[in-house]
Amino acid sequence: MDNARFFDSLDEVPHHVITQGIGTILEARHLVLLATGEAKAEAVAQTVEGPVAALVPASALQLHPHATVVVDEAAASELKLADYFRATYAAKPGWQGI
């Protein structure tokens, strides 16, 4: 019922979900954040470029030593530093993988 506000009908609300707290997520060896579409652009920008804040729980990923963010152009559309991120990725040494 808590997530019903995100769906058009109660029939669409998932019956089973898996959740983890931010602390548990930050304990992972490597994090991957995947976002697609313009609807995620603001959240991606706040997560990557905004301050670490309770209002944006995903912003805690900025504190992780090995996080990879993979977004399409639409999800990256609000990043102020998108060109910098593209250039940094293009210049990655091959030994880093990905």
Task: Give the percent of the chain with pLDDT over 70.
Answer: 99
Q: How confident is the model at residue 61 (pLDDT cuts 50, 70, 90)?
A: very high
Q: Which residues pair with 34 in a beta bridge?
A: 70
Alpha-carbon separation of residue 22 from 38, 57, 60, 92 (angstroms): 24, 7, 7, 28
Cα 60 to the chain's mean position, in Å? 10
Tens digit of pLDDT for each residue in 39-55? 999 999 999 999 999 99
**pLDDT value at residue 19:** 78
62-85 pLDDT tens trace? 999 999 999 999 999 999 999 999
Which of 15, 35, 22 has the alpha carbon at shortest distance from 7? 15
Strand partners, 70: 34
pTM, whole model, 2 decimals?
Answer: 0.77
